[in-house]
Amino acid sequence: MRKLTASVALGLALCVSQAATAKPGDPGRDKVVAAIKADHDSSIERLRDWIKLPTIANMNLNHKEGAEYMRQLALDAGFQQAKVVATDGVPGVFATLDAGAKDTLAIYFMYDVKHYEPAEWSSPPLEGRIVDRAGEGKALIGRGAVNQKGPETAFLTALRAFKTAGVKLPVNLVFVAEGEEEIGSTHFSQIVTQPEVRAALEKAVGIIIPSASQSVDGAVTLSLGAKGVVELQLISSGEKWGRGPNKDVHSSLKASVDSPVWHLVKALNTLVSEDGQTPAIDGWYENVKPLTARQKEIIAADVAAGSEADDMKVLGIKHWYKDEDYLTSQYRLAEQPTVNIQGLVSGYTGPGGKTVLPGRAEAKLDLRLVPDMTKDEAVSKIKAHLAKRGFGDIEVNVSGGYSPTQTDENSRLIKVEQATLAAAGIPMTMSARSAGSWPGVVFTGEPLKLAAGQFGGGRGGGAHAPNEWLLIDSSNPKVLGFDGQAILYADFLYEVARSTGRK
């Protein structure tokens, strides 16, 4: 459980005090809140219906259907125009809502999900079954429940409530969605850089992706950035190498025939140090920007408010790398770029053995990048590194990715997030940089240079894993259920309209 330090406890007390007198003058808020609560059952059914239609980019599943469904959801929520935007890959969606307000907020959605193995789930992954979650309340289980259809549905529910209640939205909205986030947002920039989309985004004070962000004790950590990611495959084959077989042959031939599998293993071994941890790619750290003193302060404050034991339990580990202390390990988590092997595929993988010498081997990798590294730089360096060591024949197929993102803690957007949480009585810490990734650099980088962040209340878990879940009815008064999430988004929109200052 997250431990409250004296400063955090004081912050919580102040938050509760503010919540008691929280902005009662927001025009129409009571009507919006009532509409959200009245819409509860229908909102959950809309989420379940959306979960029934999975868009899975790497399987070419429901690309057109998913985009059209997303477009209709935006229109139903009150956007005046919404259209599907074609790319060289999976289409996206662009929508606008002009409320005649002085300020504009941008919203980013992903409508795709990770694939799933039904046999690994306790209930069908596309059913959206409501189950009891011990000590927390009732949760909905389904692929996309927390990543990200659940939080996104909560945001749309807030918009629908304004529409149903006949209350004018306090801000204008620009909406962009993609169907390729789970494969590295390969073509998303093609959407954002279209003149009409870019012109609309340029008016925004910032952009958020809805998220279920509360911990088990109700606290929220606001992330000020995220590592970039590159997903790629390294493929070794007898055909490309010119050595070894161009198909699987009998393993007895290993004495006189080269192995493409060992060739790949030897290549992989050059990418990291002897302990298998620190990247050893030539020039890998050339553009790595160290953490600032302020970023270290933010990480230290977050660690002080957290629980090392809980983190280890969730991860199923007993040691950090090099047996480092909790704080040092979290510094490393934020500032070190990584080379990770997701999977190795070659030859026979069924029950028992099969005496073959495979003609092909593949390693699935992801590279996590920190400022000021870039996706193109990382790909170029790994190719040059392999070629220099005699592995130039190994194919490097990049399937997606993007550079890291960073947002100033003093930006208007982050201040609005903080003020919204304070008014709701939700304790908060900040994270200097998430070790996970999202394509925020499309917005924070050139040419838009928008502040960007993930925001929301409520709880969920199991993203990318079996039994993914979102809390619907919370038994913990410190944690928001689904309706509370939607109300928090409504309050966030009011807070944007009330705020002033630079972007």
DSSP readout, 199-253? HHHTTEEEEEEE---B-TTS-EEEESEE-EEEEEEEEEEHHHHSSS-SS-EEGGG
Please state the φ and ψ torsions of residue 365, each to the nearest 5 degrees: -120, 155
How far apart (Å, rounded) are the C-alpha atoms in residues 242 and 358? 14
Q: How far apart are CA 160 and CA 155, in angstroms?
A: 9
Tokens 């950590």 — which residue? Answer: 221
What is the predicted pLDDT for the residue at 503? 65
Report how far residue 17's alpha carbon sits from residue 1's, in angstroms, rounded to the nearest whole number: 23
Q: Which residues of the chain have pLDDT under 50?
A: 1-22
pLDDT on residue 502 = 62
Torsion sign over Cα 379, 228, 85, 42: positive
Structure tokens, 62? 């429901």
Please list, in sequence order, all residues whose beta carbon lies within 8 angstroms of the beta carbon of residue 79, skipping any fewer than 6 positions away: 95, 96, 97, 173, 175
* Pair 110, 177: CB distance under 8 Å: yes
CATH topology for 27-226+404-498 is Aminopeptidase (3.40.630)
For residue 151, the model assigns a pLDDT of 98
Specify whether the CB–CB gap between 435 and 367 falls below 8 A: no
Contacts of residues 295-300 at CB distance under 8 Å and 24 or more positions apart, as own/partner, are 295/334, 295/432, 295/433, 296/331, 296/432, 298/224, 298/409, 298/430, 298/431, 298/432, 299/327, 299/330, 299/331, 299/334, 299/431, 299/432, 300/327
Q: Which of 503, 491, 425, 483 is nearest to 455 (CA)?
A: 491
Kindly provide the b/e burial profile for residues 318-342, where b requires at least 16 CB atoms within 10 angstroms of the residue's own CB. eebeeeeebeebbbbbbbbbbbeee
The rounded distance, in Å, linking the Cα atoms of 8 and 11 is 5
At a CB cut-off of 8 Å and minimum separation 6, what does 256 contact? none
Q: Which of 222, 221, 214, 220 is nearest to 474 (CA)?
A: 214
Q: Which of 472, 475, 482, 490 is nearest to 424 (CA)?
A: 490
Half-sphere exposure of 21 (CA within 13 A, CB side): 3
What pLDDT was estimated at residue 8?
Answer: 36
- Strand partners of residue 133: 137
pLDDT at 130: 98
**Rounded (10°) angle between helices 40-51 and 29-38:** 60
Q: What are the tokens at 433?
A: 């940089």
Q: Which residues make up the CATH 3.40.630.10 domain(s) of the chain?
A: 27-226+404-498
Tokens 């038994």 found at: 475
Task: Answer yes or no: are the C-beta atoms of 492 and 420 closer than 8 Å.
Answer: yes
Please, which residues have CB within 8 angstroms of residue 214's CB and are 6 or more apart in sequence? 220, 426, 457, 458, 459, 478, 479, 480
The CA-atom distances, in angstroms, between 236 and each of 164, 281, 344, 374 are 58, 19, 11, 26
User: Tokens at residue 35, please?
Assistant: 């509409």
CATH 3.30.70.360 fits 228-288+337-402, yes or no: yes
pLDDT at residue number 314: 82
Closest CA to 66 of 94, 92, 97: 92
> What letter represents residue 494's amino acid?
Y
pLDDT score, position 306: 87
User: Which pairing describes strands 92-97 and 452-455: parallel, antiparallel, or unpaired?
Assistant: unpaired
- Judged by phi (left if over 0) then psi (alpha if -120 to 50, else beta), residue 303 lies in alpha
Location of each CATH 3.30.70.360 domain in the chain: 228-288+337-402
**Cis status of the peptide bond prior to 27, with omega within 30 of 0:** no
Polymer length in residues for the chain = 503
Helix (H) or strand (E) segment spanning residue 441:
helix 441-444
